[in-house]
């Protein structure tokens, strides 16, 4: 059973259509990437799941019911815009958020200390947030979203502003949450993290879903390109969209840059060449990267490799 199920979700702010007929679901243990440029509707969707704002239409079923603050105890959320009370200590901050999620003070404290130790911050547990570096404060904020061992962990642009070490730490936490069965949704426009972590992806453009599926399925959205050295002209091979000669024309062996028609698997073309005696000396496949897919489906704005 899905932990989160969104159906035909629409959100309007006046004349602006922020989310347009969006549907998706996330299962336990799944890491779900929510990709889109700035203003694609990622944050708005997450806020609706958290019941911070209400949808114009459509439905959201989260943890078996409609969005409600009473479910805060099973949800972890790391917002894109981060900040904490500068006058509170790290451990007090974690305990405060733990208690707001319905935990007892002692449970929140022991779980908070456990997280701070894992994040190498145990010695700064009693330091005020205002006295900490930005990186330390971000780790404390991550701890506030994990303190309740959430069943649904939602991270809005979690990697922005993190140094490479903390990015690695965050990736580990995402994998750890997934391993213990939590559904993890994170929005990002950094494709590397999505490629590395996500079981499934959803690409949004101007509030509308452009793609949902696995990385492989996403790659299949774009035609594969090949570099081949062949003895014949590959343009006549079925499934080849077009082929350009690389370099000057040769008498026998010619290098070609070949682009296949969408949905055509390179293996099928290779099979055809073998079956029809087309001589090959080189066969390099180049799969579309998530970046390419993103640019193709969503547009180039706001995307980082």
Partner 1 sequence: MMDNILLVARREIRQILTMKSFWLTLLILPVALALGPILGDTLDDSEPARVVVVDRSGGAAAAALEARFADDDDRDILRSLSRYVQRYGLESADPGAPWTQHDRWYTAADIAAFREGGGIESAIERLEAVRPEGVPEFEPDAREYEFQAPPPELAAQEGEGFAEAARELFDSEAKDAPEVIVLVGENYPEDPRIGLYAANQARSSFVTALQDTLTGDLRTRLLAERGLSAEDAAAIQAAAPAIEVTTPPPGDGAREALLVRSIVPLALAYILMMSLMLSGSWMLQGSVEERSNKLLESLLACIRPEELMYGKLLGGLSVGLLMIAVWAGCAGIAAYATQGVIADMIRPALEPVSAPGIILAILYFFIAGYILISAIFVAIGAMVDSMSEAQGYLMPVLLAILLPITFLLQAILAGKEGLLVQVLTWVPLWTPFAVLARLGMGIETWVLVGTGILLAAAIALELIFLGRLFRASLLATGQKPSTKRLIERFRAQKQ
Binding site for partner 1 (CB under 8 A): 13, 47, 50, 52-54, 69, 72, 75, 77-88, 96-97, 99-102, 141, 144-145
CB of 29 to partner 1, least distance (A): 22
- CB-based contact 287:219 (threshold 8 Å): yes
**Residue 70, both tokens:** 């009473």
Smallest gap from residue 290 Cβ to partner 1 (A) = 27
**3-state SS assignment for residue 192:** helix
Count the neighbouring beta carbons within 10 Å of the beta carbon of residue 203.
Answer: 25
Number of alpha helices (DSSP H) and beta strands (DSSP E) in the chain: 9, 13
Token pair recorded at residue 268 = 């099928």
Report, in Å, the least distance between residue 135 CB and partner 1.
Answer: 16
121: DSSP letter = -
| CB 62 to partner 1: min, Å | 12
- The residue (of 155 and 297) whose beta carbon lies closer to partner 1 is 155
Angle at 73 between CA 78 and CA 2, to 5 degrees: 80
CA-closest candidate to residue 121, choices 97, 150, 99, 141: 141
Which one, 84 or 278, has the nearer CB to partner 1? 84
C-alpha dihedral (263, 264, 266, 267), degrees to nearest 10: 110
Nearer to partner 1, 84 or 303 (CB): 84
Residue among 78 and 202 whose Cβ is closer to partner 1: 78
Strand pairing class (225-230; 200-205)? unpaired
CB of 254 to partner 1, least distance (A): 59
Looking at beta carbons only, is 135 or 232 nearer to partner 1? 135
Q: For partner 1, give the closer residue by CB, 145 or 254.
A: 145
Rounded to a whole number of angstroms, the distance between the first and last alpha carbons of the chain is 34
Nearest distance, CB of residue 52 and partner 1, angstroms: 5
């Amino acid at each position: 059973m899905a932990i989160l199920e969104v159906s035909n979700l629409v959100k309007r702010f006046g004349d602006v259509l922020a989310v347009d007929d969006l549907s998706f679901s996330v299962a336990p243990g799944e890491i779900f990437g929510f990709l889109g440029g700035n203003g694609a509707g990622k944050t708005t969707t997450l806020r609706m799941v958290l019941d911070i704002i209400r949808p114009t239409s459509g439905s959201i079923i989260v943890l078996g019911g409609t969005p409600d603050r009473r479910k805060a105890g099973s949800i972890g959320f790391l917002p894109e815009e981060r900040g904490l009370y500068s006058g509170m200590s790290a451990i007090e901050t974690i305990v405060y958020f733990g208690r707001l999620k319905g935990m007892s003070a002692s449970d929140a404290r022991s779980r908070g200390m456990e997280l701070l130790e894992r994040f190498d911050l145990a010695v700064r547990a009693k330091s005020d947030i205002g006295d900490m570096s930005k990186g330390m404060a971000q780790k404390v904020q991550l701890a506030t979203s994990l303190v309740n061992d959430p069943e649904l962990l939602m991270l809005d642009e979690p990697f922005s502003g993190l140094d490479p070490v903390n990015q690695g730490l965050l990736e580990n936490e995402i994998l750890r949450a997934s391993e213990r069965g939590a559904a993890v949704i994170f929005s990002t426009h950094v494709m590397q993290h999505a490629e590395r972590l996500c079981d499934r992806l959803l690409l949004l453009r101007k509030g509308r879903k452009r793609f949902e599926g696995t990385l492989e399925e996403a790659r299949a959205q774009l035609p594969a390109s090949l570099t081949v050295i062949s003895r014949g002209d590959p343009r006549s091979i079925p499934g080849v969209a077009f082929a350009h000669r690389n370099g000057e024309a040769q008498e026998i062996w010619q290098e070609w840059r070949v682009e296949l028609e969408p949905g055509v698997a390179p293996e099928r073309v290779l099979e055809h060449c073998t079956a029809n005696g087309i001589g090959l000396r080189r066969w390099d496949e180049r799969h579309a990267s998530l970046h390419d897919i993103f640019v193709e489906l969503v547009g180039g704005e706001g995307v980082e490799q």
